[in-house]
Amino acid sequence: MIPSGALAYLDSSVIARAVLADESHHDATREGLLAARDRLVTWCGARVELASALRAAGAQGRVVDPDHAADWAFASGPRVMLLPGAPDTIVPLGADIAARRPVRALDAMHIAAALTEAAVVAGDARLIFVTADARQAEAARAEGLEVLVPD
Map out the domains of the chain with their CATH numbers. 7-146 (3.40.50.1010)
Under the phi-then-psi rule, with left for phi > 0, alpha for psi from -120 to 50, and beta for the rest, what region is 85? left
Query: So what's the pLDDT on residue 6?
Result: 96
pLDDT in tens, 108-137: 999 999 999 999 999 999 999 999 999 999
Span of 3-7, 58-62, 92-96, 104-108 with lowest mean pLDDT:
58-62
What's the CA gap between 101 and 25, in Å, rounded? 27
> How buried is 117 (Cβ within 10 angstroms: 0-12 exposed, 13-18 middle, 19+ buried)?
buried
Give me the percent of the chain exceeding a pLDDT of 90: 67
- Report the pLDDT value the prediction gives residue 103, as an integer from 0 to 100: 97
Q: How many whole angstroms separate alpha carbon 116 and alpha carbon 119?
A: 5
Size (the chain), residues: 151
| CA–centroid distance for 45 within its chain | 10
What is the rounded average pLDDT of the residues 134-148? Answer: 97
Helices 45-59 & 12-19 angle (0-180, nearest 10): 40
Q: Over 80: is that where the pLDDT of 151 sits? A: no
123/126 Cα distance (integer angstroms): 8
Bigger pLDDT: 59 vs 113: 113
In which band, very low, low, confident or very high, does the pLDDT at 64 lie, cut at 50, 70 and 90?
A: low
